Amino acid sequence: MEKGVRATFDVAVVGATGLVGEAMLTILAERRFPVGRIHALASARSAGQQIRVGETELTVGDLAEFDFSQVQLALFSAGGAVSGEYAPRAAAAGCVVIDNTSRFRYDDDIPLVVPEVNASEIEGVRARGIIANPNCSTIQLVVVLKPIYDRVGIERVNVATYQSVSGAGRRALEALKTQTAAVLAGATLVSDGAPPHAANVVPHIDVFEDNGYTREEMKIVRETRKIMGDPGMRVNATAARVPVWFGHSEAVHIETRERISAREARALLSEAPGVRVVDDMPLPYPTALTDAAGADPVFVGRIREDISHERGLDMWVVADNVRKGGALNSVQVAEIWAERYSELYSRVR
Ligand SMILES: NC(=O)c1ccc[n+]([C@@H]2O[C@H](COP(=O)([O-])OP(=O)(O)OC[C@H]3O[C@@H](n4cnc5c(N)ncnc54)[C@H](OP(=O)(O)O)[C@@H]3O)[C@@H](O)[C@H]2O)c1
């Protein structure tokens, strides 16, 4: 094969038995990514298991045994510790890594990419062979901020999230189902270290940092600044877990540099890539269950001028955290990398 030109790419999906990994396999097939051989990898616990993607059965391989020189691309979603150990090894073997965990997101020489916002950053892959995928809550936020930022500037962002339990992985989702059944059967749930998710709203995702914010909240702050290319941007977040299965919702309040009316913002967002405006009667809003779950766009509604601030705008933003918040964004990044493969060849055999 001619150097730098490929018709297909051999791909490894690390964390293939998890919610994001499973969605990656599905989305690669749905979007007809030019996959040659595909390797589904997880821990030794699930090695040998069969998983089905459409008509294809894949046997799960053990990550610890895998030789990354067999593939050109690896999509990682098996937690930060796993990425910390294996992603640099995969990159050293000549394979490009798109990593869904927070492990490399804040490294200056690792691009953090949302294609609708900063696709050109992908060329930063040349430095270490790794591209980071942002946190699910950040992705849906920046897709909506970007067109407004480019038109009128944004001075401050204040966001409250209502995050589904699938964001905490398959085991948490199964626990929610069990807890919900117990509540419906009349049981009283008690804290088991952390408060239960069923019939509850929990303002605590990931660990607390020294400043009183949770790490999930600070991920939104740090990642929004990095992706928007505005290190001084004022961002404030409160992140809560709600007993929803799939789809994160966000109440977003922004203060723009120049005034923008709700009408102008609605028109602008209607044209924006990856955004679907749902802001009309009878229901001027999207929801996690009825719009976002299983869908690709970032939905936005309740677009209105803030009555407490002359340059304030309020919005309700909803997206599927497993798809656009994780797997879909990674595959979109992979598509751009694949298109530019010959140019970005230097990282690859
Ligand atoms: N869920 C979301 O909405 C979302 C969105 C964006 C990013 N993320 C990030 O993506 C990652 C995965 O999330 P998830 O929701 O898919 O979690 P999950 O459903 O709990 O799946 C975790 C996956 O990681 C694998 N794994 C765990 N330890 C491993 C090890 N030592 N070696 C190899 N594989 C190992 C598991 O394999 P076994 O079956 O062998 O245990 C499973 O395939 C996390 O870092 C998460 O923060 C999640």
pTM of this structure:
0.96
Residue-level pLDDT at 345? 58
Using the mean position of ligand 1's atoms as its centre, give its distance from the Cα of residue 281 in Å. 39
Amino acid letter, 74: A
Rounded distance, CA 327 to CA 335, Å?
12
Query: Going by CA atoms, what residue is nearest to atom 5 of ligand 1?
Result: 326
Please give the distance, rounded to the nearest whole angstrom, from the Cα atom of residue 42 to the centre of ligand 1.
9
- Ligand 1: which of 13, 17, 20 to mutate, judged by most atoms within 8 Å of the beta carbon? 20
Give residue 343's pLDDT. Answer: 78
Q: Which of 136, 197, 204, 253 is catalytic?
A: 136
Residue identifier of the C-alpha nearest atom 22 of ligand 1: 18
pLDDT value at residue 118: 98
User: Tokens at residue 244, please?
Assistant: 């929803």
**Which pLDDT belongs to residue 137?**
98
Question: Closest residue (by CA) to atom 26 of ligand 1?
Answer: 78
Which residue CA neighbors atom 40 of ligand 1 most closely?
43
User: How far apart are alpha carbons 319 and 116 in whole angstroms?
Assistant: 14
> Of all atoms in ligand 1, which is nearest to the CA of residue 49?
39
Ligand 1 contacts (CB < 6 A) are: 15-21, 42-43, 45-46, 63, 77-80, 82, 100-101, 136, 166-167, 169-171, 321-322, 325-326
The CA 140 to ligand 1 mean position distance, Å, reads: 20
Q: What is the mean pLDDT of each run of 10 residues along the chain (349 residues)?
A: 73 98 98 97 98 94 98 98 98 97 98 98 96 98 98 98 98 96 95 92 98 98 98 98 98 98 98 97 93 98 98 98 98 96 62
Residue from 51, 82, 100 whose mutation best tests the ligand 1 pocket (most atoms within 8 A of CB): 100
Q: Measure 63 CA to ligand 1 centroid, in angstroms.
A: 13
The pair of structure tokens assigned to 150 is: 């480019």
The secondary structure of the chain, three-state, reads CCCCCCCCEEEEEECCCCHHHHHHHHHHHHCCCCEEEEEEEECCCCCCCEEEECCEEEECEEHHHCCHHHCCEEEECCCHHHHHHHHHHHHHCCCEEEECCCCCCCCCCCCECCHHHHHHHHHHHHHHCEEECCCHHHHHHHHHHHHHHHHHCEEEEEEEEEECHHHHCHHHHHHHHHHHHHHHCCCCCCCECECCCCCCCECCCCCECCCCCEHHHHHHHHHHHHHHCCCCCEEEEEEEECCCCCCEEEEEEEEECCCCCHHHHHHHHHCCCCEEECCCCCCCCCCHHHHHCCCCCEEEEEEEECCCCCCEEEEEEEECCCHHHHHHHHHHHHHHHHHCCCCCHHHCC
**286 is written with which tokens?**
């999207």
Q: Is 309 a catalytic residue?
A: no
Instruction: State residue 193's pLDDT score.
Output: 86
What count of other Cβ atoms lies within 10 Å of the Cβ of residue 193?
4
Cα–Cα distance for residue pair 133/121, rounded to 1 Å: 12
- 314 CB neighbour count, 10 Å cutoff: 19
Q: Are 6 and 73 in contact (CB under 8 A)?
A: no
- CA separation for the pair 176, 234 (Å, rounded): 34
